[in-house]
Amino acid sequence: MTEATGASHTDRFRFYLREIGQGPKAGRNLSRKEAREAMELILSQQASPAQMGGFLLLQRYKGESPEELAGFAEAIRASARTIRPKVEGLLDVGSPYDGRKRSIVVSPASTIVAAAAGVPVVMHGESVIGPKFGVPVGDVLDSLGVETHAEPEEVQRSVEDIGFGFMRQRHFVPQMYALKDLRAEIALRSCLSTLEKIYNLAGAQFSVIGLTHLPYFEKMMATAQLMGFQRILIVQGIEGNEDAPTSRACRVFEWAQGETREFKLDPGEYDLQAATKEEMAGGDADHNASIAERILEGAPGGHRDLVCLNAGLRIYLTGRAGDIGEGIGRARAVIDSGQAMAKLKALRERRR
């Protein structure tokens, strides 16, 4: 119990602001229960916009504790519409909702290839989310002709029938989606950007997540473990996303059975053609979708190997391959056999 108990919503939230905002000596982290209540007040918008913005910025500068992130996640999940597809070994792909501006968006094609290799997958996101306002994965999927606006029940059926579904935030977590203007106004990423990548609204067993800032790794991993995942890969990839590059090595953290290991993912070990600077250049959703379709059709080059590397990671993570090299080999095989393009066509048919 805290002195905030029994007070008005505004007074309770003012109490939490004082507790976290008094500097490194006088301030403190909230307990898990307090953090949950604070986030409940934000999601229900019972705190004022000024209070909500101040809280998110103070947490950013203080640094959220794992207990706080866990409490925030509990509140968000309690407000969400969730699904439980009847599939084995579901993979959740935790892409940043505010997208990417400078580089190609690899995840949609890589994930479709993984689905063609037998990995049931959910992706999730939303359009026009700040602070980056980049190209999100859902916009690329939409340009590819994949359904991205389905209600939760239909998404669950899609995962069960085709092995792929996209969860749009406005349908699954409408209270969080309602904060998009506030998030844009504070102009900096907050804990919400982390939590939406890991909140696991489909009960997935596996997760691949992007890591922007290395110091955030431990608290992100600790929170992700509470979301019900059995095995997690955190990739310090392109622009801090979950997409591993082929032009350089990157850090990867793997958690399974209570143990974490860190390794360097060196694409030079897998006979991959490094994507050139020109191939890595970003563009709008249609540009990224055009590249993805050419890859799924079997076009050779740096784009193909970029997708094969990341599809191979997904196949390995979910236990469909004994190591990353085998996963890359399976990714190449499903592209060459036409299975990857067939998966895209099946998804397009479902949209109709």
- CATH code (residue 42): 1.20.970.10
pLDDT tens for 131-169 read: 999 999 999 999 999 999 999 999 999 999 999 999 999
Q: Sort strands 231-235 and 206-210 into parallel, antiparallel or unpaired.
A: parallel
pLDDT tens for 41-90 read: 999 999 999 999 999 999 999 999 999 999 999 999 999 999 999 999 99
Q: Sort strands 250-256 and 231-235 into parallel, antiparallel or unpaired.
A: antiparallel
Give me the residue label for tokens 């350089």: 248
User: Does any domain span residue 64?
Assistant: yes
Determine the pLDDT at residue 4: 52
DSSP letter for 168, please.
E
The stretch 201-217 carries a mean pLDDT of 92
Give φ, ψ of 330 to 5 degrees.
-65, -35
Are 24 and 114 in a shared domain? no
Determine the pLDDT at residue 64: 94
Are 197 and 55 in a shared domain? no
3 pLDDT exceeds 60?
no
235: β partners: 210, 252
Distance CA 253, CA 233 (A): 6
Residues 6 or more apart from 106 whose CB is under 8 A from it?
Answer: 238, 243, 306, 307, 310
Give φ, ψ of 127 to 5 degrees.
-95, 150
Q: Residue 167 belongs to what H/E stretch? A: strand 164-168
DSSP sequence for 60-94: HHH---HHHHHHHHHHHHHHS-----S-SS-EEEE
Among 1-5, 195-199, 247-251, the least confident range: 1-5
The stretch 217-239 carries a mean pLDDT of 94
Are 45 and 127 in a shared domain? no
Are 71 and 101 in a shared domain? no
Helix (H, G, I), strand (E, B) or coil at 255: strand
What is the band of 24 on the pLDDT scale with cuts at 50, 70, 90? Answer: confident
Neighbours of 269 (CB within 10 A): 11
pLDDT tens for 302-338 read: 999 999 999 999 999 999 999 999 999 999 999 999 9
The stretch 292-297 carries a mean pLDDT of 98
Last residue of a domain, one of 41, 59, 79: 79
- Mean pLDDT for all residues in the chain: 95
Are 165 and 210 in a shared domain? yes
CATH number at residue 176: 3.40.1030.10
Are 54 and 156 in a shared domain? no
Angle at 162 between CA 157 and CA 163, to 5 degrees: 90
Determine the pLDDT at residue 5: 54
Helices first, then strands: H and E counts in the chain: 18, 7
Distance CA 234, CA 1 (A): 36
Range of the domain at 236: 91-351
Last residue of a domain, one of 29, 46, 79: 79
Are 276 and 301 in a shared domain? yes
pLDDT tens for 48-60 read: 999 999 999 999 9
346's tokens: 């099946």
**pTM (predicted TM-score):** 0.95
The stretch 209-228 carries a mean pLDDT of 90
Last residue of a domain, one of 17, 46, 79: 79
The stretch 230-235 carries a mean pLDDT of 98
The stretch 97-105 carries a mean pLDDT of 94
Determine the pLDDT at residue 1: 39
> Helices marked H in 105-168 — which ranges?
107-116, 137-143, 152-162
